[in-house]
């Protein structure tokens, strides 16, 4: 079973439906026991960084996330679920994140490009993470975001994307994979990533 973390924000239903479409059962929950009994975890996210961290704390979900990742079970972060893994964010002030990945979250520079970065864009594969199986270099995925992550260590970067600057569009370290794009909105290739995640969950559980 895959647990989709419900902290009151995010595109939970669409992620659950996309996982089910590729043959993997998922539950939407904020119950710590259910989360820690799951074989895989998805942390989606839409909204402001500060509000998301506040809700994770409010619903006592931070410790279960740490325990789950420490237990080396497959973890997938989506959009803000990627950003929350980092040390801090500069969105509307300075706010602490989960600090699972060292680095910060910053806003796109003010230039001629529209912010938020919204729509289809390509990803450049830097490291072939297990969830990128079957994903070719320069494949298109769907993005909606005004901020992006800046890891301290380049060896966590799985893909980059260009939008005026080259930014990190997904990271991979051990059992943790997280992407700035929305696989659940990215049609065939997005579903491939979710299928890869579900398959990894099953393999890890056996």
Establish whether 179 is a catalytic residue: no
The DSSP 8-state label assigned to residue 109 in this structure reads: P
Which of the following is catalytic: 24, 52, 79, 91?
A: 79
Establish whether 37 is a catalytic residue: no
Q: Which residue has the tokens 């059962």?
A: 25
Segment holding 20, helix H or strand E: helix 12-21
Which of the following is catalytic: 24, 117, 145, 182?
A: 182
Angle between helices 49-58 and 62-70 (to 10 degrees): 90
Which of the following is catalytic: 24, 91, 145, 184?
A: 184
CA angle 81, 85, 89 (to 5 degrees): 95
CB 20 within 8 A of CB 26: yes
Establish whether 184 is a catalytic residue: yes
Ramachandran angles phi, psi of 27, nearest 5°:
-120, 145
| Nearest CA among 158, 167, 176, 18 for reference residue 84 | 176
CB 84 within 8 A of CB 97: yes
The catalytic residues are: 79, 182, 184
């Amino acid at each position: 079973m895959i647990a989709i973390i419900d902290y009151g924000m995010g595109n939970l239903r669409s992620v659950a439906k996309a996982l089910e479409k590729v043959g993997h059962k998922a539950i939407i929950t904020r119950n710590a026991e259910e989360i820690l009994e799951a074989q895989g975890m998805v942390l989606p996210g839409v909204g402001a960084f500060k509000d998301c961290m506040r809700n994770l704390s409010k619903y006592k979900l931070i410790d279960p996330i740490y325990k789950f990742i420490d237990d080396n079970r497959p973890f997938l972060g989506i959009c803000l679920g990627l950003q929350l893994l980092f040390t801090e964010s500069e969105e509307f002030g300075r706010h602490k994140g989960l600090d699972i990945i060292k680095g910060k979250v910053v806003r796109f520079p003010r230039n001629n490009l529209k912010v938020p970065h919204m729509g289809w864009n390509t990803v450049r594969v830097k490291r072939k993470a297990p969830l990128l199986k079957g994903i070719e270099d320069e494949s298109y995925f769907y993005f909606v975001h005004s901020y992006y992550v800046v890891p301290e260590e380049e060896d966590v970067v799985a893909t980059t994307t260009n939008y005026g600057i080259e930014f990190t569009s997904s990271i991979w370290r051990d059992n943790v994979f997280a992407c700035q794009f929305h696989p659940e909105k990215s049609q065939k290739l997005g579903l491939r990533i979710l299928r890869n995640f579900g398959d990894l969950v099953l393999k890890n559980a056996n």
